[in-house]
Amino acid sequence: SSPDSSPSRLSLPSRSAAPNVDDTMLSLTVAGKAHAMAEKPIDPTQHLVSFNPKYEQLWAPILGPSHPYVKDGLALGLRNHKLGFVDNASIEPFAFDEQYNTFYKFGYAADPSENSCVGDVEGFKKNEGISVYNIPQHEQKKRKLEKKKEMLEENEAAGDHQVDEAELQNPATDTWLVKNRKSPWSGKKDLLQEELTEEQKKYAEEHAKKAEKDAAGRGGKGEAHVDKSTFHGKEEKDYQGRSWVAPPKDAKANNDHCFIPKRLVHTWSGHTKGVSAIRFFPKHGHLILSASMDTKVKIWDVFNSGKCMRTYMGHAKAVRDIWFSNDGTKFLSAGYDKNIKYWDTETGQVISTFSSGKVPYVVRLNPDEDKQNVLLAGMSDKKIVQWDMNTGQITQEYDQHLGAVNTITFVDNNRRFVTSSDDKSLRVWEYGIPVVIKYISEPHMHSMPSISLHPNSNWLACQSLDNQILIYGTRERFQLNKKKRFAGHVVAGYACQVNFSPDGRFVMSGDGEGRCWFWDWKSCKVFRTLRCHQGVCIGCEWHPLEQSKVATCGWDGLIKYWYVRTDL
């Protein structure tokens, strides 16, 4: 009633403008259409299906001859065989074979999809549904009796005519086969050995000769390769008739004091691949021998021309190790072709070849003068094999290591030798007795691919792959000298050679970065390093007479000669 109050509102009844619809009839109509669509086969010409069809609808045959996609009541998309549609059935191989063989024997088989038979129904009823694998017991006995009756009739027919006794005793005749039908060889005639023709005999002889030649050429089990050698010098003998191998008469040691080299004197280049080992000529050092991964061994002049004197080609693969005899007139070479060759240094002829069928990693001759015919080789099959080179026979095998043998070092006046292996152990052997007298293996030890004997024969320097050189005594106990340890270089993964100076004052070794390291023996301190090679410096040798000269070799294929002048 106040002027500030809102006006009153009128409430009118709601009214719908939509017509009334019978929901019951609508739902029945929709359901009927859906049911009709669900039962109706799908038209293959339409590209859109507005409902989820059942499996039966998707694969139902389209009836009616007027339809373009119909042939024999099957849509073209359903045909997977030239005769129509073939449905896969899961059946065991044994059951399939049984029904397959039964059908071809009796003319009927069981239908796996239904409990019925396919084929000759009358035969199925007559045989009571038996298959080839379940013949009744009485049927088996009946067949055995029929078979026995047939055999008796055949024997009677054979007895009607006179049988030759010789044919009856000869297994190669039909008469013997008929008489001995139960023999496991029944029905088979033994082929008698006929004499070889002249052509076959000739071929067999040639094959035997070739096999014998191959076996002799490869020493039993190694790879065969032609042995040859080339001399590169001016003449093999001088005007006095001396061989090029003979040492110079004036070659002698200048003094007993060794000096560390400083500068490069000479570089020998001739190998096409890395050099794996170098050895100076024993006692004089006027020649240096080198083994390379290019399968060749070369010998170089040190004192005069500095050129390659001879190349030895006898290995099919890379050469692993070389070793001179005491007088230097002969040397050994070991290659990855599983052969060990014994060469004449002067003429380049191969005296003999040895092989055990495994790769030799190290070769050594017994240092005693009266045992220069004894060869020891550390093999890849964990053995040290000993040959007598005069007879070519294996006289001993030292088989205790658990890995490939890397080094052999004679100690104690050559009565014993020390070996190292990939099994990270050292073993000491009595020469000629395959029993380990000392076994050195510690948890902290690494593999030692190079060992060198000190000039006083009391110590062994062992190149350990944990980047240090360890010293072991050669006395009875072979103890580790914990006070002497040489480190600083990087050799992990490389079998870099370790060596001593002739006076024993210095230890030297190559490393994986191409340097050569020198340590003082007493203080164990690094004395000097030389940058020698591009890549790995794998070997180093001190000259036996000229105490200030050192040779190094590397995987760059070069051999370098270093020295320091001592006459200033």
What residues pair up with 542 in beta bridges, in sequence order? 550
pLDDT digits (tens, 9 = 90+) for 344-375: 999 999 999 999 889 999 999 999 999 899 99
Instruction: Measure the CA angle with vertex 277, ends 271 and 278; round to 5°.
Output: 85
Which of 99-113, 209-223, 400-414 has the weakest average pLDDT?
209-223
Q: Is 297 left (phi over 0), alpha (psi -120 to 50) or beta?
A: beta
pLDDT digits (tens, 9 = 90+) for 92-102: 888 888 888 88
Predicted confidence at residue 236, as pLDDT, reads 84
Residue with tokens 């001179």: 324
Q: Which residues have a Cβ under 8 Å from the Cβ of 123 and sit 6 or more positions away? A: 106, 107, 108
pLDDT of 254 higher than 90: no
* Cα 238 to Cα 281, 345, 482, 537, distances in angstroms: 19, 17, 53, 36
pLDDT digits (tens, 9 = 90+) for 228-239: 899 998 888 888
pLDDT digits (tens, 9 = 90+) for 295-319: 999 999 998 888 899 999 999 999 9
Question: Are 331 and 338 a contacting pair, CB within 8 Å?
Answer: no
Q: Is 230 left (phi over 0), alpha (psi -120 to 50) or beta?
A: beta
Predicted confidence at residue 305, as pLDDT, reads 83
pLDDT digits (tens, 9 = 90+) for 317-346: 999 999 999 999 999 999 999 999 999 999
Question: Are 263 and 347 a contacting pair, CB within 8 Å?
Answer: no
Assigned CATH class of 233-563: mainly beta
pTM of the model: 0.61
Read out DSSP for 344-395?
Answer: ETTT--EEEEE--SS-EEEEEE-SSGGGTTEEEEEETTS-EEEEETTTTEEE
Domain boundaries defined on the chain: 72-133, 233-563
Cα gap 488→100, rounded to integer Å = 81
Read out DSSP for 143-202?
Answer: HHHHHHHHHHHHHHHHHHSPPPHHHHH-TTSHHHHHHTTTSTTTT-PPPPPPPPPHHHHH
